[in-house]
Chain A
Amino acid sequence: MMSLIRERLAEKGGWLRAAAMCAAPGLLALAFALAAGWLTPGRLTSGTFMRTFRMVDGPHPGFRRNHAKGLCVTGWFEGSGNATPLSRAPLFAMVRSPVVGRFALAGGMPFQDDAPEKVRSLALRIMPAHGGEWRMGINDIPVFPVRNAKDFNDFLLASRPDPQTHHPDPARMGAFLAHHPETQQALALLKARPLTSGFANDTYNSLDSFTFVNTGGTATAVRWAMVPDQPASLPAGQGAGRDYLFHDLIAALAQGPLRWHLIVTVGGAGDATADPTVPWPAGRRQIDAGTLTLDRAESEDGGPCKGITYDPLILPEGIAPSDDPIPAARSAVYARSFTLRSGEPDTTSAIGRAAIRPGEQ
């Protein structure tokens, strides 16, 4: 065969044919390398965020790269039927769906101290009996500080602690804010938010906008909040102990179930859906779509919220993404965080099993 190849190469145009033979796979490989970003290492990917979280919060193998300190909870969601004209998602009907949730503090530090002004979060996995699962991660702030993934990455980097002072470098944050008036406005709203005494009487907001779609196919822009039945009370100072927010929540759940109402806000004409830094005006139509009841706390250690990710694009039919760019970025980044932490050695949560049932390991 080698002699045949030599013969063919000697023919007129033989080398051209050989070049064509190599060029096709070569070009395909080049196209793949370009598509994969191997030739453009600066591209913003989920990997960029992993490096950023590591730089800002330090390495914490086995833990969520953000909202690292948390506690599992379980309970159920019961639709009121009020949202069915807007969304055909089965869980809005008057049915009960089991819930696995997670309360957490924002930030990638799994052993950070609780404090009144730190951002608190609630993540929910709602699992109706016949499919149509809905996952969400929602925060107790009124708006998100940035408009898109790139700005969030820059914002995180600007907030990273200076190795000497252990505090964010004001010059770096100042430089970011100078170019981002929307972040200045959002941070002002964050600062002005009323704080409550704990997780149980806090309100958690979707921040991102989504689309409800009803049986007729009509789409409606929405945001939502979980609004507590538990009466608000002001934070009583710093609280006792490093984990007081979580311990208070465990104590409250031991007393009895806690309830929230899923209040859906319908966007009006001109309300920003693509920009989670901008609040929607007061007075928009609101619907009480159902009640969330949580009745049990479990440590992340061996608990049901540890081995899943609250990907905000796991949506039932009847809820769809909007033109808000943040949820797609979250979906990609949460998948990466989930993959990495699930492959790392097992960890022990700050809120261990003994915190819930004293005596247990």
Chain B
Amino acid sequence: MRPVEHFPLFARILHWLMAAMILTMLFVGIVMVTTVGPAYHQLVDLHRPLGICILALALVRLVNRLLIRVPPLPDTLPPALRTAARLSHIVLYALMIALPLVGWGMLSAGAYPVAMWPGFALPPILPHDPALFALLRHLHTWLALILFGVVLVHLAAALMHGLLLRDDVLPSMTSGPPADARKKQDA
């Protein structure tokens, strides 16, 4: 049997950090738009900078992903599922970048300050245009719901690999090479 190939440590850290951040953001987003209580502005104040953080990390991650060797999917996986896996990863990257950009763009088009923390706001990336604001505001919702859907499918697929197929896919992201293998690599 071939030894498990793992994602490099930096890629794994980015993956799990961003997984936590994105899930947090999806919940923060959906809770804030359905409350009119004091939590509303506290959550929005958290949502903007956290979303911009995700954008920055997603760009780093995209570059990193293009540079590293990605562990191959097991040969046993049918071609249709391989394609599905590839496509879903492309969609995940695209949304991690597009969703915060749409957030930033919609606030720009709505002439809202894109406040990060007290005393600091990002510059607008789009001209003031209320109709565009409305369009992007709705797009932000739909892209967020699609992202959540793809995250759910991604989670189910990871668990299928980990719990049912018990192949190398889940360990390639959850763990690094065992200590003795690492020594061998270093040698």
Which A residues form the contact surface with B (CB < 8 A)? 1, 4-5, 8-9, 14, 17-18, 20-22, 24-25, 28-29, 31-32, 35-37, 43-46, 49, 131-133, 149, 306-309, 311, 313-314, 317, 321, 323, 325, 327-329, 331-333, 338-340, 342-343
Please tell me if the beta carbons of B113 and A329 are within 8 angstroms of each other in the complex: no
Tell whether B59 is near chain A: CB-to-CB under 8 Å.
no
A49: chain B residues at CB < 8 Å are: 36
Which residues of B151-176 are within 8 A (CB) of A? 152-153, 155-156, 159-160, 163-166
Please tell me if the beta carbons of A314 and B134 are within 8 angstroms of each other in the complex: no
Report the separation of the CA atoms of residues A149 and B110 in the bound assembly, to the nearest whole angstrom: 24
Report the separation of the CA atoms of residues A141 and B109 in the bound assembly, to the nearest whole angstrom: 33
Q: Which residue of B lies closest to A45 (CB)?
A: B34
Q: Which of B41, B78, B135 contacts A343 (CB 8 A)?
A: B135
Q: Which residue of A lies closest to B129 (CB)?
A: A307
> B46 → chain A, closest Cβ, in Å?
14
Report the separation of the CA atoms of residues A331 and B39 in the bound assembly, to the nearest whole angstrom: 11
With A1-B81, A25-B155 as contacts: A36 and B119 at CB distance below 8 Å: no
Main secondary structure on B side of the interface with A = helix
Report the separation of the CA atoms of residues A327 and B110 in the bound assembly, to the nearest whole angstrom: 19
Please tell me if the beta carbons of B156 and A329 are within 8 angstroms of each other in the complex: no
Q: Which of B40, B130, B159 contacts A21 (CB 8 A)?
A: B159
With A5-B164, A35-B30, A35-B31 as contacts: A44 and B76 at CB distance below 8 Å: no
Tell whether B3 is near chain A: CB-to-CB under 8 Å.
no
> B83 → chain A, closest Cβ, in Å?
14
Which residues of B123-145 are within 8 A (CB) of A? 128-131, 133-135, 137-138
Q: Which of A20, A321, A332, A338 contacts B163 (CB 8 A)?
A: A20
Q: Which of A28, A46, A325 contacts B33 (CB 8 A)?
A: A46
Q: Which residue of A lies closest to B131 (CB)?
A: A342
Q: Which residue of A lies closest to B164 (CB)?
A: A8
Please tell me if the beta carbons of A328 and B77 are within 8 angstroms of each other in the complex: no
Total number of residue pairs linking A and B with CB closer than 8 Å: 127
Please tell me if the beta carbons of B27 and A35 are within 8 angstroms of each other in the complex: yes
Please tell me if the beta carbons of B35 and A342 are within 8 angstroms of each other in the complex: no
Please tell me if the beta carbons of A317 and B118 are within 8 angstroms of each other in the complex: yes
Tell whether B93 is near chain A: CB-to-CB under 8 Å.
no
Please tell me if the beta carbons of A332 and B40 are within 8 angstroms of each other in the complex: yes
Tell whether B178 is near chain A: CB-to-CB under 8 Å.
no
A132: chain B residues at CB < 8 Å are: 119
Please tell me if the beta carbons of A328 and B30 are within 8 angstroms of each other in the complex: no
With A24-B159, A32-B26 as contacts: A325 and B37 at CB distance below 8 Å: yes
Please tell me if the beta carbons of B36 and A329 are within 8 angstroms of each other in the complex: yes
With A37-B34, A314-B112 as contacts: A1 and B76 at CB distance below 8 Å: yes
Q: Which of B35, B129, B134, B148 contacts A339 (CB 8 A)?
A: B134
Q: Which residue of B lies closest to A44 (CB)?
A: B36
> B168 → chain A, closest Cβ, in Å?
14
> A83 → chain B, closest Cβ, in Å?
17
With A21-B163, A132-B119 as contacts: A343 and B37 at CB distance below 8 Å: no
Please tell me if the beta carbons of A307 and B38 are within 8 angstroms of each other in the complex: no
> B78 → chain A, closest Cβ, in Å?
6
A340: chain B residues at CB < 8 Å are: 134
Report the separation of the CA atoms of residues A183 and B164 in the bound assembly, to the nearest whole angstrom: 62
B148: chain A residues at CB < 8 Å are: 32
Q: Which of B36, B81, B133 contacts A328 (CB 8 A)?
A: B36
